[in-house]
């Protein structure tokens, strides 16, 4: 399964100690650490929505 950090949160991989990147991290399906993170809403299975860049002088 591929997990993504919940917007506004940062979660570290317990093995590498690196933050989970915004583009997600592939982890084993039965991983208890990530099952707990999913239950606590620290990570999500849905990718983040792309942010539309704001161009200076562009008014909506």
Of the candidates 59, 60, 57, 27, the residue with the CA atom closest to the CA atom of residue 42: 27
At 48 the pLDDT is 84
Q: Are 9 and 15 in contact, with CB atoms under 8 Å apart?
A: no
Taking only the tens place, the pLDDT of each residue in 49-60 is 877 777 776 565
Q: Are 19 and 12 in contact, with CB atoms under 8 Å apart?
A: yes
At 22 the pLDDT is 92
pTM exceeding 0.85:
no
Taking only the tens place, the pLDDT of each residue in 7-53 is 999 999 999 999 999 999 999 999 999 999 999 999 999 998 877 77
Q: Copy the structure tokens of residue 24.
A: 């997600």
């Amino acid at each position: 399964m591929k997990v993504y950090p919940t917007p506004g949160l940062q979660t570290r991989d317990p093995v590498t100690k690196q933050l989970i990147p915004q583009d997600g991290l592939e982890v084993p399906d039965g991983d208890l650490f990530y099952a707990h993170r999913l239950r606590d809403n620290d990570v999500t299975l849905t990718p983040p929505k792309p942010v539309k860049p704001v161009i200076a002088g562009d008014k909506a």
